[in-house]
Structure 1
Amino acid sequence: MDKQTLYNNIKQKSSFLCVGLDTDLEKIPSHLLKEKDPIFAFNKQIIDNTADYAVAYKPNIAFYEALGPSGWESLQKTLDYIPKDIFTIADAKRGDIGNTSKLYAKAFFEVMNFDSITVAPYMGEDSVSPFLEFEDKWVILLALTSNAGSHDFQVLNSEQNKPLFAHVLEKSQQWGTDQNMMYVVGATRGEKIAEVRKYAPDHFFLVPGVGAQGGSLEEVAKYGMNSTCGLLVNSSRGILYASSGDDFGNAASKEAQKLQQEMASLLEQYCS
Structure 2
Amino acid sequence: MGFDSIEPYLAWKDRGIIILCRTSNPGGSDLQFVESASGEPLYLHVASMVAEKWNTHGQCGLVVGATFPEELSKVRARVGDAMPLLVPGIGAQGGDIEETVTAGRNIAGTGMMINSSRAILYASSDENWKEEAARVARETRDQINQARAG
TM-score (norm 2): 0.90
Q: Does the 8 A contact of 1:178 with 1:204 survive in 2?
A: no
The equivalent position to 1:220 in structure 2, one of 86, 89, 100, is 100
> Which structure is higher in RCO with an 8 Å CA cutoff and minimum separation 6?
1
Return the match for 1:229 from 103, 106, 110. Answer: 110
Task: For 1:177 and 1:194, locate their aligned partners in 2 and report how far apart those are by CA, in whole Å.
Answer: 23
Q: Secondary structure at the match of 1:193?
A: helix
1:137 aligns with 2:15: yes
> How many percent of aligned residue pairs carry the same amino acid?
38
Equivalent residues in 2 for 1:45-194, closer than 5 Å? 122=1, 124-173=2-51, 174-177=53-56, 179-194=58-73
Counterparts of 1:228 and 1:129 in 2: how far apart (Å)? 30
Letter in 2 for 1:195: K
Give distance in 2, aligned partners of 1:160 and 1:179.
25
Task: State which structure, 1 or 2, has the greater radius of gyration over its C-alpha atoms.
Answer: 1
Distance 1:145 1:223 in 2: 15
> What secondary structure, in the 3-state scheme, does the structure 1 residue paired with 2:146 have?
helix
**Distance verdict in 2 for CA 1:223–1:178, change over 3 Å:** farther
Q: CA deviation at 1:177?
A: 4.7
> CA RMSD of the aligned region, Å?
1.6
Structure 1 gaps, min length 5 = 1-121
C-alpha spacing 1:167/1:144, structure 2 compared with 1 (3 Å): same
Which aligned runs of 4 or more in structure 1 are off by greater than 6 angstroms? none
Going from structure 1 to structure 2, the CA distance change for 1:133 and 1:178 (only over 3 Å counts) comes to closer
Q: For residues 37-82 of structure 1, what are the alpha-carbon distances to aligned partners after superposition, in whole Å with 9 as ceiling and x for unaligned? A: xxxxxxxxxxxxxxxxxxxxxxxxxxxxxxxxxxxxxxxxxxxxxx
Aligned residues of 2:13 and 2:57 also touching (Cα < 8 A): no
Listed one character per residue, the Cα deviations across residues 93-133 of structure 1 (whole Å, up to 9, x for unaligned) are xxxxxxxxxxxxxxxxxxxxxxxxxxxxx2x1111111112
In terms of fraction of residues, the more strand-rich structure is 1
Instruction: Confirm whether residue 242 of structure 1 aligns to residue 123 of structure 2.
Output: yes
- Does the 8 A contact of 2:123 with 2:129 survive in 1? yes
Contact 1:187 1:215 in 2 (8 A): yes
Alpha-carbon displacement from aligned partner over 1:199-239 (angstroms, at most 9, x marks no partner): 11121111111010111011100111012601111111111
Give the secondary-structure state (helix, strand or coil) at the position aligned to 1:153.
Answer: helix
SS in 1 for 2:126: coil
For the residue of structure 2 that corresponds to 1:256, the secondary structure is: helix
- Helix, strand or coil for the counterpart of 1:199? helix
TM-score by length of 1: 0.51
Q: Distance in 1 between matches of 2:13 and 2:55?
A: 12
The code of the aligned residue for 1:217 comes to: I
Provide the secondary structure at the position in 1 that maps to 2:40.
coil
Q: Which residue of 1 aligns with 2:74?
A: 195
The 1-side partners of 2:149 and 2:93 are apart by 25
Q: Using the alignment, how far apart are the partners of 1:144 and 1:225 within structure 2?
A: 16
